[in-house]
Amino acid sequence: MSIELVRQVFLWCAVINYGLLLCWFLFFKLAHGWMYRFHSRWFRLSAEQFDAIHYAVLAIYKIGIILFNLVPYVALCIVG
């Protein structure tokens, strides 16, 4: 496996993950009421707790994308 192939894999992983992150964010912003009602059937959460959980997980997911996709991509661009 060449460095170029691994670099492309990391790039496409980052693109796909950012696409999922964007879809999740848009769904959260545009269908917030529906999502809250859907989740409140199973869990007792206030709207503030629901928002805090989603924003925290969105941030963790974004940090994961940066650490596990973009940093290796940039490192391979520097090395290659």
Please state the rounded mean pLDDT for residues 45-74: 97
Which residues fall within 8 angstroms of residue 13, CB to CB, at 6 or more apart? 68, 69
Domain limits, the chain? 3-75
The DSSP result for 21-50, as a single string, is: HHHHHHHHHHSHHHHHHHHHTTS---HHHH
Give the separation between CA 71 and CA 77, rounded to whole angstroms: 10
pLDDT at 11: 97
Q: Are 77 and 8 in contact (CB under 8 A)?
A: no
Band (pLDDT 50/70/90 cuts) for residue 69 is very high
pLDDT at 1: 83
